[in-house]
Amino acid sequence: MLHPRSSLGSLLAFLFVVRIPAGFAETQCDCVDAYDIASRRAEVTAAIQAYENSIREWSRSTAPTAADEDQRRDFQEREIKPALEKARYLNATPASAVTGPDLIGRCTTENSSPSACMKESTDVHESVHMAQCTALGHRRWSSLEDYAREEIAAYHAELAWLREAYRRLRSECEFELAFDSTIHGYNVVSKSTAGARVSLRLDDSGHFEGNSVLDYRTVDTGPPRRTLGDPLLAALLTTQCKAPPYYTWEGSGMTQISVPRSALMWAQDPRTGNRHVFIELSLHVGETEEVLRFKDRKRCLPPVQEERGAFYSEAFYSDKPGKTIGGTRVVEFNDWYVPGSNGSFAEAELVIKGGAAGLGGPVSAMKSAEETRLVLTRK
Ligand SMILES: [Zn+2]
């Protein structure tokens, strides 16, 4: 048995550690590539299907399917390329590589995939063509079917690699979203704070998702310290009543918060060609429950019945471009700093400056100020 401190022992241990995960230790694919991997997996599956369909059709017809270069290219353009393009995800990094003869007739692979991960994936595919090319030469297909079968084998090899790569990312990639939000009412004198930590994992289709609980607290910050909207009305209330009456929302509790179908992906600057991380994060906030109260300490005006409603959640959705995903209302955050500060993966913020709530003002405006911060951290 080797002494743990012997240099031979540590060298062997080092080699052992490095060599064990040989298939994946060197991979360049990381969490941001999961979207491309899932997209490529869909493309590859569609390609295999398209080749198999063609083989089935050829077996039923007597038309010649000689594999000359023109016919091969025509078949590729007409039958296979559209299937691949249809399956590719929106804005996914394209994968492209080709194996063929160089100027002096040697088999070579040219891989022009723009990301390291897609390059790896297509290298697996091209290695099948390379082995066939090296063994049998460039004109190794006597029919289109021969060619199609080689492509199916190449795509199957790539598919196995993609499935393994995705399985690994699915177990490794976990992010935590920290959500902190403050909203001040506009003509209601209240302040809401809401916060949550949401753990995000990969789903089966290259997207991140997660759900958690949002803690919220809406408090009365009155009496109002300034006037908004109609100055006459405010002046009237201030002089008529010794302490001006006002509306406020109050309430606290927990509601659902979720991140459905969000994506981390690569984007390319069309001007410089530089690639950067792009994040499309959808956030759903469940309904909060608060009570709208009329505060009139000096009993200057007739009393007003209190009302139940959702102040924080409605104010959060208001003035933000929103959409629904599977019937769930979401707000999209697509503007992120990557990397974020303090070692975080990314950061986004939404700041509406307005100051504290006041008195008066149009009823349609729900909030005078908002500060919502999202911090994404790799776990
Ligand atoms: Zn191929």
* pLDDT tens per residue across span 314-332: 999 988 888 999 899 999 9
CA-nearest of 134, 153, 141 to 68 is: 141
Output the CA 75–ligand 1 centroid distance in Å. Answer: 13
Assess whether pLDDT exceeds 50 at residue 17. Answer: no
Q: What is the pLDDT of residue 2?
A: 37
- For residue 27, the number of C-alpha atoms closer than 13 Å in the C-beta half-sphere is 23
Residues 183, 82 within the same domain? no
What average pLDDT does the segment 347-361 reach? 73
Output the CA 19–ligand 1 centroid distance in Å. Answer: 29
The reply to whether 9 falls in a domain is no
Residues 6+ apart with CB under 8 A from 165: 24, 27, 29, 37, 117, 121
Residues 353, 240 within the same domain? yes
Indicate the SS3 state at residue 378.
strand
Contact present, 35 and 263 (Cβ < 8 Å): yes
Q: What is the pLDDT of residue 3?
A: 40
Output the CA 172–ligand 1 centroid distance in Å. Answer: 30
Q: What is the pLDDT of residue 211?
A: 97
Assess whether pLDDT exceeds 90 at residue 132. Answer: yes
Output the CA 263–ligand 1 centroid distance in Å. Answer: 28
Assess whether pLDDT exceeds 80 at residue 303. Answer: yes
**b/e code 274-293 from CB counts within 10 Å (16+ = b):** eeeebbbbbbbbbebbbebb
pLDDT digits (tens, 9 = 90+) for 33-57: 999 999 999 999 999 999 999 999 8
The reply to whether 2 falls in a domain is no
pLDDT over 70 percentage in the chain: 88
Output the CA 96–ligand 1 centroid distance in Å. Answer: 9
Output the CA 105–ligand 1 centroid distance in Å. Answer: 19
Output the CA 122–ligand 1 centroid distance in Å. Answer: 9
The pTM (predicted TM-score) of the whole model is: 0.85
The reply to whether 204 falls in a domain is yes
Residues 155, 279 within the same domain? no
Output the CA 91–ligand 1 centroid distance in Å. Answer: 22
What average pLDDT does the segment 239-263 reach? 91
Q: Considering 139, 171, 203, which residue would you say is the last residue of a domain?
A: 171
Residues 109, 69 within the same domain? yes
Residues 53, 136 within the same domain? yes
What average pLDDT does the segment 199-213 reach? 97
Residues 279, 368 within the same domain? yes
The reply to whether 3 falls in a domain is no
Output the CA 104–ligand 1 centroid distance in Å. Answer: 22
Output the CA 133–ligand 1 centroid distance in Å. Answer: 12
Output the CA 63–ligand 1 centroid distance in Å. Answer: 24
Residue 206: pLDDT band with limits 50, 70, 90: very high
**b/e code 210-230 from CB counts within 10 Å (16+ = b):** bbbebebbbbbbbebeebbbe
Residues 115, 189 within the same domain? no
Residues 6+ apart with CB under 8 A from 119: 28, 95, 97, 111, 113
Number of CB atoms found within 10 A of residue 132's CB? 19
Q: Considering 171, 194, 217, which residue would you say is the last residue of a domain?
A: 171
Q: Considering 154, 171, 188, which residue would you say is the last residue of a domain?
A: 171
The reply to whether 17 falls in a domain is no
Report residue 227 as tokens: 């006037």
Assess whether pLDDT exceeds 70 at residue 9. Answer: no
What average pLDDT does the segment 335-354 reach? 93
Output the CA 152–ligand 1 centroid distance in Å. Answer: 8
C-alpha to C-alpha distance for 270 and 275, rounded to whole angstroms: 9
Q: Give the orientation angle of helix 116-136 with respect to helix 34-60, to 10 degrees.
A: 30
* Tokens 């790799």, residue located: 378
The reply to whether 6 falls in a domain is no
CA-nearest of 78, 79, 119, 95 to 42 is: 95
Residues 232, 322 within the same domain? yes
Report residue 169 as tokens: 């990312």
Residue 128: pLDDT band with limits 50, 70, 90: very high
Q: C-alpha dihedral over 332, 211, 307, 186, to 10 degrees?
A: -40
Assess whether pLDDT exceeds 90 at residue 338. Answer: yes
User: For the chain, how many structural domains are there in total?
Assistant: 2
Assess whether pLDDT exceeds 50 at residue 197. Answer: yes
Name residue 226's amino acid. Answer: R
Contact present, 115 and 275 (Cβ < 8 Å): yes
Q: What share of the chain is helix, strand, coil (3-state, %, to 5)?
A: 35, 35, 30
Assess whether pLDDT exceeds 70 at residue 24. Answer: no
Residues 151, 195 within the same domain? no
C-alpha to C-alpha distance for 365 and 358, rounded to whole angstroms: 12
Q: What is the pLDDT of residue 359?
A: 56
pLDDT digits (tens, 9 = 90+) for 271-288: 998 899 999 999 999 999
Report residue 171 as tokens: 């177990």
Output the CA 89–ligand 1 centroid distance in Å. Answer: 20
Report residue 91 as tokens: 């804005």
Containing 87, the helix (H) or strand (E) segment is: helix 81-87
Output the CA 155–ligand 1 centroid distance in Å. Answer: 7
Residues 344, 220 within the same domain? yes
What average pLDDT does the segment 132-140 reach? 88
Residues 155, 191 within the same domain? no
Output the CA 90–ligand 1 centroid distance in Å. Answer: 22
Residue 358: pLDDT band with limits 50, 70, 90: low
Assess whether pLDDT exceeds 60 at residue 231. Answer: yes
- For residue 297, the number of C-alpha atoms closer than 13 Å in the C-beta half-sphere is 8
Q: What is the pLDDT of residue 233?
A: 72
Name residue 132's amino acid. Answer: Q
Q: What is the pLDDT of residue 181?
A: 98
Residues 165, 178 within the same domain? no
Q: Which domain holds residue 125?
A: 28-171
Output the CA 98–ligand 1 centroid distance in Å. Answer: 7
Mean of pLDDT over the chain:
87
* Tokens 């209190």, residue located: 306
CA-nearest of 336, 201, 197, 213 to 261 is: 201
C-alpha to C-alpha distance for 29 and 37, rounded to whole angstroms: 9
Output phi, psi for 106, to 5 deg.
Answer: -80, 150
The reply to whether 133 falls in a domain is yes
Least confident among 157-166, 233-242, 268-277: 233-242
Output the CA 67–ligand 1 centroid distance in Å. Answer: 15
pLDDT digits (tens, 9 = 90+) for 159-196: 999 999 999 999 999 999 999 999 999 878 899 999 99
Name residue 78's amino acid. Answer: R
Q: What is the pLDDT of residue 361?
A: 46
What average pLDDT does the segment 123-131 reach? 96
The reply to whether 230 falls in a domain is yes
Assess whether pLDDT exceeds 70 at residue 6. Answer: no
